[in-house]
């Protein structure tokens, strides 16, 4: 599979490279664009401030430009938190998308978007302050209306970015379970 993997508001940190290496060792080709142009952050707040300074439209533009050279190959869009929301937006707008792997995040869905059975897998903490139960229920129903084939995996007691071993949210057991299921998902595409 060809995978476009987007980073979180922490930036392109070692955990993103480790995830990409894990995917490559499973036989996938992976690109990890740096939407923050080299900037990384120690706190969510710092990353969110930087994201706001750049602006949503500019971030999406950078993501589209990063994916464009590879989209003809049929990409699986993937991302962590903020990167998941970007991946979702791109996948729902790319008729050649092969799949969507969301780690720790979702996004609004534009009205009238339709896809033809796009495989989608979401992995999220339970509870998650950024992905509340009400939000996830509404998101799931909306994704179903688009025509996506959605699977949701919840990890009780894990922190928001539980797959990043350098963050306090890290939960090794939940992270391993996520990667086991996610690799199976990618192999099925």
The tens-digit pLDDT sequence of the chain (189 residues) is: 999 999 999 999 999 999 999 999 999 999 999 999 999 999 999 999 999 999 999 999 999 999 999 999 999 999 999 999 999 999 999 999 999 999 999 999 999 999 999 999 999 999 999 999 999 999 999 999 999 999 999 999 999 999 999 999 999 999 999 999 999 999 999
The helix/strand count (H/E) of the chain reads as 6, 6
Contact, 43 vs 74, CB < 8 A? no
CA 114 to chain CA centroid, nearest Å: 19
Residue reference for tokens 């869905």: 109
CA 120 to chain CA centroid, nearest Å: 10
Q: What is the pTM of this model?
A: 0.97
Helix, strand, coil percentages for the chain (3-state, nearest 5): 45, 20, 35
DSSP SS3 for 22: helix
- Could you tell me the two tokens for 186? 């990618």
Tell me the C-alpha distance between 98 and 1, whole Å: 8
Contact, 93 vs 163, CB < 8 A? no
């Amino acid at each position: 599979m060809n995978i476009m993997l987007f980073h979180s508001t922490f930036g392109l940190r070692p955990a993103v490279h480790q995830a990409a290496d894990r995917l490559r060792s499973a036989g996938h080709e992976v690109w990890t664009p740096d939407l923050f142009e080299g900037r990384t952050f120690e706190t969510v707040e710092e990353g969110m401030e930087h994201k706001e300074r750049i602006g949503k439209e500019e971030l999406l533009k950078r993501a589209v430009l990063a994916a464009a050279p590879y989209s003809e190959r049929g990409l699986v869009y993937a991302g962590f938190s903020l990167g998941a929301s970007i991946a979702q937006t791109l996948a729902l707008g790319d008729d050649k998308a092969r799949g969507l792997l969301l780690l720790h995040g979702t996004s609004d869905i534009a009205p009238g978007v339709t896809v033809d059975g796009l495989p989608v897998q979401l992995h999220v903490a339970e509870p998650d302050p950024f992905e509340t139960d009400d939000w996830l229920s509404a998101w799931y129903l909306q994704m179903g209306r688009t025509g996506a084939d959605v699977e949701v995996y919840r990890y009780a007691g894990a922190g928001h970015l539980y797959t990043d071993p350098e963050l306090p949210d890290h939960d090794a057991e939940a992270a391993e379970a996520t990667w086991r299921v996610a690799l199976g998902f990618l192999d099925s595409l």
